[in-house]
Structure formats: C-alpha cells, structure tokens
Structure 1
Amino acid sequence: TNQTYLSNVVNRYFGCHLKELVNTYRVEYAKELLRSGKCPPEELPQRCGFLSRSAFYAAFKKVTGVSPQRYMKYGQREKLSEPTEYV
C-alpha cells in the first residue's frame, strides 16, 4: 500500500499522524525495556528504532510526560506496574 493511503487510514482510525502512532509504540517498547532492566539506557534510542537520542527523548516525553531518567526513577521508587495502553 502507499504511504498516503496508510496515513489517511491512521488519521481516521487512530486520530493521529502515522509518525505519532509509530513513536507511541516505540516508546511503549522502551518503557517495557526500562521496567525489565534488559537494556542499558544509552542503547534505548537505537533499540527502539529512533535515529537520534534527541528524537527519542522528545517522543518519550511527549508520550509519558516525563524523561526516561525520571520514568526509571519513579519506576524504581514506586515499582510501577502500569498496564500498556496503546493509542
């Protein structure tokens, strides 16, 4: 399928742009890796499909409202076990 068609379908059914939807799934994966401790924080951007660290940090903060470091800090202190919620 072509990108325009896929983008229109995502806009209609998910209420966001294709890039936002993909980044949301990438951030959810990053959160899983952070909670499990299976990935060093410096490897997260690449492992989750981001081309740069700054793009990863911006997307993570947009989706979660906090930085990855703060997310880890809260997770360790409060033992977060939040359910994964997809858009």
Structure 2
Amino acid sequence: MVSNRCKLAVRDELKKLGLHFIVVDLGEVEIMENITFEKREMLKKGLLESGLELMDDKKAILIERIKNIIIEMIHHTEQEIKVNFSDYLSEKLNHNYTYLANLFSEVQGTTIEQFIISHKIERIKELMIYGELNITEIAWKMNYSSVAHLSTQFKKVTGLSPSHFKQLKDKRRNSIEDI
C-alpha cells in the first residue's frame, strides 16, 4: 500500500469479510481475530481485484516496509528530510542496513539509493509544479547539500535541468506506484 486510496481499499475488503482491524497502515494490517483459510483466500482475491497483493513471504514484506518507510518520509512528511536513510531504515526495521540493501537489490533489481533518488526527484517535481518554494528552498527541504547537487541529480534522472522542467507546459510526473 503506497497511498491513502490503497488503505481505503484494504479497509473496504476487510469490512466486506467482517474482519475487525486494529491497524491498516502503509504495507501493514493488524487484524483482531484469527483468519480462516477461506477468508484469507477471499481477502487475497478481493485485494487483487483492487490491484493490491496480500504478501506472505517475510522477505517480500520487509521490502514493502522499506519502500513504505521511504515513500512516507519523502512524499507524506512536510518537515525537512534531515535523516540518514540507511541509519533510519536500520533503526526502524531493526535490521543491519547491509542486509536490507542486499535484499532490496536482489529482489527489486535496483538499489535502495536509486529508489530514494527516484522518489526524491518525483517529490521535487511536485514541489516545483506547486510553485510555493524556490529551488534553494526545495534543495534544503529535500536534504541536498546544494542547489548544484539537486540540479545534477535532477538532470541525471530526468534529462532536464530543474529550470527547463519548470518551463515545460506539460509537466510529466509519475504516480508513486509507478516509480
């Protein structure tokens, strides 16, 4: 689950099955009662129809948790990002960062760093489109050491400089699910 819409879809499926939940959060659901095999299969089917997947594999669950922590931090936090992601992920998930990084790369075919950069660039696009912050403020907010560093990374990912992107009429952004 990477958005509030996903959380709503999961809640709806749980309610349809008469299941009571304590938590429905990004990538995580805690149900009050034990779930029968039949209800589990019905939940799995209902989630698939909504474009979601019920995960049983511990490694897949851990990867989803990594993604959700990064997405939450980049897209759903209004405060400035002033954390070291490797330390933050290790602390939050109670695993060594090297293990998390190797697992993520093995399963996703990309590094955690590249995943973070992709999401930061999408967030930067969003902030530029809104026009409430200038590029210096965006660089500060997104924890770049300088505007030059942000600009270099932005151009490497998009092929455009931030100023050229800002001038485009058709500003293309990707949905969080597509990154």
Using the size of structure 2 for normalisation, the TM-score is 0.42
- Superposed structure 1 runs of 4+ greater than 6 Å apart: none
- What do residues 50-72 of structure 1 show as CA deviations (whole Å, max 9, x unaligned)? 22323211221122111100000
Q: Distance in 1 between matches of 2:128 and 2:109?
A: 27
Alignment RMSD (CA, Å): 1.9
Structure 1: any 5+ residue segments left out of the alignment? Answer: none
**How many aligned residue pairs are there?**
84
| Alignment counterpart, residue 144 of structure 2, candidates 38, 50, 57 | 50
Bigger share in strand: 2
| Percent identity of equivalent pairs | 25
Question: Within 5 A, what are the aligned runs for 1:1-87?
Answer: 1-74=95-168, 78-80=169-171, 82-84=173-175, 86-87=178-179
What is the CA-CA distance between 1:83 and the residue it aligns to?
A: 3.7
Q: Which amino acid aligns with 1:58?
A: T
Secondary structure in structure 2 of the residue aligned to 1:66: coil
- Residue type matched to 1:32 in 2? E
User: Rg bigger for which structure?
Assistant: 2
Distance 1:52 1:38 in 2: 19
Q: Quote the offset at 1:27 in angstroms.
A: 1.0
**In structure 2, how many angstroms separate the alpha carbons of the residues matched to 1:35 and 1:14?**
29
Query: Which consecutive unaligned segments of at least 5 residues does structure 2 have?
Result: 1-94
Range 61-70 or range 50-59, more displaced: 50-59
Deviations along 1:7-65, one digit per CA (max 9) or x if unpaired, are 11221233222222111111111000001112112211111122232321122112211
Q: Which has the higher contact order (CA 8 A, sep 6+)?
A: 1
Q: Would the alpha carbon gap of residues 65 and 36 (structure 1) be closer, same or farther in structure 2, given more than 3 Å must change?
A: same
Distance in 1, Cα, partners of 2:103 & 2:161: 30
